A = this chain, B = another copy of it.
């Protein structure tokens, strides 16, 4: 299996777990010291540091997810990820840079679906005990006008 195929598998698993709300499984895809960050595209383009979400470790990310799950009891919805355009670059330190475009659709309890967010992943991936894990997950969001946008991991 090519490294690009492996990376695609990683992203497919990532999407499957979020959409199925299997957050414990989702967390297994991150290293302990992983960084999870959501940045508006405008800031990313200008190298501005301001993030919408910044989790400095997997423990922080886990806490965040627990809060989300509780909050979403009052805002039930389904997520559906579409990921495309996977790009892989090997880095010198045994890591890979992984980029891809995403579109996330949300469906409410009335069964109405809408476009929720589009943007791009720019991740760092490492191999740990034989499997690929996210060391950094940086989500650049084109869409930033949605009030509820922080209610779902992207």
Binding site for B on A (CB under 8 A): 1-2, 4-5, 9, 11-13, 15-16, 19, 40-41, 78, 80-87, 99, 101, 103, 105, 107, 110-115, 117-120, 142-145
Contact of A80 among B80, B101, B110 (CB under 8 A): B101
Closest to A141 in B: B111
Additional 17 contacts, C-beta under 8 A, given A19-B120, A105-B142, A113-B117: A1-B2, A12-B84, A12-B86, A15-B85, A15-B101, A16-B87, A16-B99, A40-B111, A41-B78, A80-B142, A82-B101, A82-B103, A83-B84, A107-B142, A111-B142, A111-B144, A112-B143
Complex-state Cα separation, A131 to B99, whole angstroms: 21
Residues of B within 8 A of A145 (CB): 110-112
Determine how many copies of this chain the complex contains.
3
Question: Do A118 and B111 form a contact, CB below 8 Å, given A2-B1, A19-B101, A81-B101?
Answer: no
Contact of A103 among B11, B40, B80 (CB under 8 A): B80
Question: Does B87 contact A84, Cβ atoms closer than 8 Å?
Answer: no
